[in-house]
Homo-oligomer: A and B are copies of this chain.
Amino acid sequence: MDKNTFAKTPPMGWNSYDYYDTTVDEKAVRANADYMAEHLKAFGWEYIVIDIEWYALEAGSQRARYQYIPFWQVEMDEYSRLLPDPERFPSSKGGAGFKPLADYVHQKGLKFGIHIMRGVPRQAAAEHTKILGSDMLACDIADPSNICFWNPDMYGVRPELSGSQAYYDSIMALYAEWGVDFIKCDDICRMDQRSAHEEIVMLQKAIQKCGREIVLSLSPGPARIETAWHYEKYANMWRITDDFWDRWDLLLNMFERCELWQGHPHTGNWPDCDMLPLGQIGAAFGHEHPTNLTFDEQITMMTLWSIFRSPMMLGCELTKLNDDTLKLITNKDVLRLLPSSDGASQVMRNSDQAVWKTFDTEDGSLYIAVFNFTEKPAVTAYDPEDCTCADPDVTAALNKPCHELWTGRAYASLASAFAGITASHGARLFKL
């Protein structure tokens, strides 16, 4: 299997984290899948992803003190493999795991994904439990000094031991049985621990062995540009920043990251700007709220993700989407960039604005995106004589007509489009 065929275009879907944190349950998953199938599937949205701590058992008052409760109980099979919390995921009872829920999602014409942490459970190491297909025990392959700094669930494994690959093989075989289409592996992408480099390889090796085309997504960022080739060889998506939330400073920072990673998105390889904190979010974090991004900032975000070709995962509770947000995430002209553009690059960026360009792979047309970073509405500064921003493609297009994809408005020329006003923190996306 060629891993690049698992995600030929940037994956689009929903992820439970931004709304449900560590508390997502079966009911919520089904409701969001129902909504996606009915309202979003037609626009390319297809993944339903259950994020962190689906294996963690009831923790009572500890939940108020910790996001990730240390030394608490997880659901595990005899082979040290984590299983869904049966209270939160009733259909998993009796050893069914996520299979019934995956089936449900598949019947809707959607795809099913889960989050995992790098390594073997801390509880498995403490209890000396077994590993399927190996004589080694969990306590053998667990490396006690190889830990995640923000989550206490797992130990990294010792890559030189055969039991470590056997463990990854065993969990991936289970996920394939369940019908998992997408794995978001955490504590691995920025390689805080040396073994993460090898664990990425072990994950892909396990996917190849399991016989199911499972998209491999790596978190959290920032990914290391100096091992871009490694991500490209073994994974499908990798986060290029730490967690992204609904704050302008983080959105502004994403332009630096996209500058850094420009040229890297291509078939099966998707540098990942992280989930879209649109709509209603934050509930299980104790402060449910509509996104703090202004509508113009949301347009900026959608434009950047689209032209850069980042994967797009909705973080909100879908059933609470309002009409404006729904319109924003179902603009076919804009979303078309994900499957049908290529070769995006930054034309220029300074503290006031950025300009990006890309090409349509089907009709060959040129797209130009302009972004206004200032606190005021502004027109685009573009001087074809100024080498720091002059781009032959853009310069050649200045006299050509274009239209803007968010408003549908037509312009006699790109030059006149540039002369139009971009809202503060906003963006415009032109097609020529």
Q: In whole angstroms, how far apart are the Cα atoms of A303 and B228 in the complex?
A: 24
Do A259 and B229 touch (CB < 8 A)?
yes
Do B150 and A70 touch (CB < 8 A)?
no
List CB contacts (< 8 Å) of A129-162 with chain B.
Answer: 139, 142-145, 147-150, 152
Do A387 and B201 touch (CB < 8 A)?
yes
Known contacts A71-B139, A152-B145, A204-B387: A226-B225 contact under CB 8 Å = yes
Do A345 and B145 touch (CB < 8 A)?
no
Q: In whole angstroms, how far apart are the Cα atoms of A50 and B95 in the complex?
A: 50
Is A419 part of the contact surface with B, judged by Cβ < 8 Å? Answer: no
Known contacts A71-B139, A388-B201: A263-B145 contact under CB 8 Å = no
Which residue in B70, B150, B260 is a CB contact (below 8 Å) of A125? B70
Is A208 part of the contact surface with B, judged by Cβ < 8 Å? Answer: yes
Q: In whole angstroms, how far apart are the Cα atoms of A346 and B201 in the complex?
A: 15
Is A108 part of the contact surface with B, judged by Cβ < 8 Å? Answer: no
CB distance from A185 to the nearest CB of B (A): 16
For residue A262, which residues in chain B have a CB less than 8 angstroms away from its CB? Answer: 229
Which residue in B70, B126, B205, B345 is a CB contact (below 8 Å) of A229? B345
Known contacts A259-B229, A263-B229: A145-B148 contact under CB 8 Å = yes
For residue A125, which residues in chain B have a CB less than 8 angstroms away from its CB? Answer: 70-71
Do A70 and B142 touch (CB < 8 A)?
yes
Is A186 part of the contact surface with B, judged by Cβ < 8 Å? Answer: no
Do A147 and B148 touch (CB < 8 A)?
no
Is A128 part of the contact surface with B, judged by Cβ < 8 Å? Answer: yes
Is A392 part of the contact surface with B, judged by Cβ < 8 Å? Answer: yes
Is A18 part of the contact surface with B, judged by Cβ < 8 Å? Answer: no
Do B232 and A263 touch (CB < 8 A)?
yes
List CB contacts (< 8 Å) of A195-247 with chain B.
Answer: 201-202, 204-205, 208, 225-226, 228-229, 232
Q: In whole angstroms, how far apart are the Cα atoms of A385 and B147 in the complex?
A: 30
Do B229 and A71 touch (CB < 8 A)?
no
For residue A150, which residues in chain B have a CB less than 8 angstroms away from its CB? Answer: 145
CB distance from A395 to the nearest CB of B (A): 11
Is A78 part of the contact surface with B, judged by Cβ < 8 Å? Answer: no
Do A2 and B226 touch (CB < 8 A)?
no
Do B260 and A226 touch (CB < 8 A)?
yes
Known contacts A152-B144, A262-B229: A128-B71 contact under CB 8 Å = yes
Q: List 28 A-B contacts (CB under 8 A).
A: A2-B392, A70-B125, A70-B139, A70-B143, A70-B144, A71-B125, A71-B126, A71-B142, A71-B144, A122-B144, A126-B126, A144-B147, A145-B147, A145-B148, A145-B149, A145-B150, A145-B152, A201-B388, A208-B387, A225-B225, A225-B226, A226-B260, A229-B259, A229-B260, A229-B263, A229-B345, A229-B346, A232-B263
CB distance from A224 to the nearest CB of B (A): 9
Q: In whole angstroms, how far apart are the Cα atoms of A226 and B148 in the complex?
A: 26
